[in-house]
């Protein structure tokens, strides 16, 4: 596997673009994005688990039932959520506008929105800019970058990537972009995520690979414990790499699934690092659990704990908060078998052994925890289950950002 440039435009057959159309009056950044495939794509997606779902989610869920997509149109600045039937009509209008640009069916277009909830979507602004949006499409890094900017809201860093692997003797590429830095929690972190690939793969195996990748990446990232109304992650496979279609599990599927997981982990880590107001990326590595699922539950509980996150902000080696979070996670483990340590570029230190305090230097612990990327290393001492979760510290700036988000 090797890293390549181009994001969603790295795989064969895809173009992307983004423009400003004026969805949010107070902003002049790009706010309308489009990704287009020159050939019909096998498609799979996962959506928010929130009972309150945005119009874009409902329409895209309906369109994904066919398993084929040609395009994704997405806006920022307005979530088009809690907007009633008018919101559904607006989401369908967005799909229709994109479909008309390429003479394809609206059902071959996915729709995504992000921004303020409860405000009617100014769909006329999108309609008036449709031709300009089509003109912005490029099959290179510039098109990818424009589309990525157009889906960002409070994000301060770009979150994208692309990889290449060999399957059936053919180079196969996967590229992706996500937005999200607040309202992020497991069970689909708050995000819009779009992944393209030129692999030839059946819908069933594409869906299985996506679900495995999401379980080990986006469902193990947390910023603030909130999940959104708009969460969407979808993947489109053009089949233009020329590999023999992946129609059964085996070595070729494993290569593809591993590449997709690698890309999703890269994107998930970038989301955690860009948590609203965050100063530190926090990685929780947990081994020794009874199963992988138990390890994931324990690791997520630690990464999600506001008390743990606040301690990370203060560079305080308060390991008791870690065991506390494990204790209410719902996963079974033996507290008397737990070891806890911290690690960063400044070194490693053990602070808890067999469930009780281990002698350690507070000064060294503070130095380790004062770095921009820190790790909480936990052994549950029970089995072979292991998992990694990602989060960030909890800072004063998180409240500042979310205190006036609508303005």
Q: Please provide residue 231's backbone torsions phi and psi, each rounded to the nearest 5 degrees.
A: -55, 130
DSSP string of 357-378, one letter each residue: E----HHHHHHHHTSSEEEEEE
Please identify, among 252, 273, 294, the residue that sits at the C-terminal boundary of a domain. Answer: 273
Q: Report how many domains make up the chain.
A: 2
What's the pLDDT at 275?
Answer: 60
* Strand pairing class (192-197; 232-237): parallel
Which two three-digit tokens encode residue 258? Answer: 């591993």
Cβ 392 vs Cβ 272: under 8 Å: yes
Q: Is 190 among the residues known to form the active site?
A: yes
Mark which of 219, 248, 273 sits at the end of a domain: 273
What dihedral do alpha carbons 93, 98, 104, 107 form, nearest 10°? -50
Identify whether residues 346 and 209 lie together within a single domain: no
Tell me the residue range of the domain where 332 lies. 281-403
Q: What is the CATH number of the domain that holds 247?
A: 3.60.70.12
Assess whether 111 and 138 both reside in one domain: yes
Do 26 and 76 sit in the same domain of this protein?
A: yes
CB 246, CB 339: distance < 8 Å: no
Catalytic residue among 83, 153, 190, 229: 190
> What pLDDT, on a 0 to 100 scale, did the predictor assign at position 186?
44
pTM, whole model, 2 decimals? 0.82
Question: What spatial distance separates the first Cα and last Cα of the chain, rounded to whole Å?
Answer: 44
**Residue 190: predicted pLDDT:** 55
Same domain, 253 and 355: no
On whether both 264 and 285 belong to a single domain, the answer is no
For residues 199 and 82, state if they share a domain.
Answer: yes
Together in a domain, 65 and 23: yes
Contact between 260 and 268 under an 8 Å Cβ cutoff? The reply is no
| 262 and 330 together in one domain | no
Give the distance between the most distant pair of CA atoms in the chain. Answer: 69
132 and 150 together in one domain: yes
- Asked whether 40 and 195 are in contact (CB, 8 A), the reply is no
Residues 246, 269: one domain? yes
What stretches in the chain show pLDDT beneath 50?
182-186, 188-189
> DSSP character for 246?
B
How far apart CA 364 and CA 347 sit, in angstroms, is 8
Q: How far is the CA of 24 from the CAs of 55, 150, 171, 211, 396, in angstroms?
A: 18, 12, 41, 33, 26
Picking from 223, 239, 273, the residue at the C-terminal end of a domain is 273
- Within 13 Å and on the Cβ side, how many CA atoms surround 129? 23
The pair of three-digit structure tokens given for residue 367, joined into one six-digit string: 């130095």
Q: Same structural domain for residues 115 and 211?
A: yes
Same structural domain for residues 14 and 156? yes
List the CATH number of the domain containing 359. 3.10.20.340
DSSP 78: B
d(CA 282, CA 270): 11
């Amino acid at each position: 596997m090797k890293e390549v440039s181009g994001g969603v435009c790295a795989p064969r057959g895809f173009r992307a673009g983004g423009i400003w159309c004026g969805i949010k009056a107070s902003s002049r950044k790009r706010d309308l994005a489009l990704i287009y495939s020159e050939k019909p794509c096998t498609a799979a997606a996962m959506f928010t688990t929130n009972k309150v779902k945005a119009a874009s989610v409902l329409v895209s869920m309906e369109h994904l039932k066919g398993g084929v997509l040609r395009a994704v149109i997405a806006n920022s600045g307005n979530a088009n959520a809690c907007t009633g039937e008018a919101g559904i009509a607006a989401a369908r209008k967005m799909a229709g506008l994109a479909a008309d640009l390429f003479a394809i069916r609206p059902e071959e277009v996915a729709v995504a929105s992000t921004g303020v909830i409860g405000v009617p979507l100014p769909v006329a602004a999108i309609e008036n800019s449709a031709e300009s949006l089509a003109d912005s499409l490029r099959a290179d890094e510039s098109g990818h970058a424009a589309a990525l900017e157009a889906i960002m809201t409070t994000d301060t860093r770009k979150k994208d990537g692309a990889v290449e692997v060999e399957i059936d003797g053919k180079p196969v590429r996967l590229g992706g972009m996500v937005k999200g830095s607040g309202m992020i929690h497991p069970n689909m972190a708050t995000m819009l995520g779009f992944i393209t690939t030129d692999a030839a793969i059946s819908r069933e195996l594409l869906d299985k690979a996506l679900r495995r990748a999401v379980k080990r990446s986006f469902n193990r990232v947390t910023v603030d414990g909130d999940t959104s109304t708009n969460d969407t992650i979808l993947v489109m496979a053009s089949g233009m790499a020329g590999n023999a279609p992946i129609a059964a599990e085996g070595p070729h599927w494993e290569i593809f699934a591993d590449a997709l997981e690698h890309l999703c982990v890269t994107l998930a880590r970038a989301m955690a690092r860009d948590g609203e107001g965050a100063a530190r990326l926090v990685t929780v590595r947990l081994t020794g659990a009874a199963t992988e699922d138990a390890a994931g539950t324990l690791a997520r509980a630690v990464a999600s704990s506001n008390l743990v996150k606040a301690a990370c902000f203060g560079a305080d080696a308060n390991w008791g908060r870690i065991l506390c979070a494990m204790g209410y996670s719902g996963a079974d483990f033996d507290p008397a078998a737990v070891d806890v340590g911290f690690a960063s570029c400044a070194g490693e230190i053990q602070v808890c052994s067999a469930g009780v305090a281990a002698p350690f230097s507070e000064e060294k612990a503070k130095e380790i925890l004062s770095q921009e990327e820190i790790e909480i290393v936990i052994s549950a001492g029970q089995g072979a289950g292991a998992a990694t979760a990602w989060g960030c510290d909890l800072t004063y700036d998180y409240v500042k950002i979310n205190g006036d988000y609508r303005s």
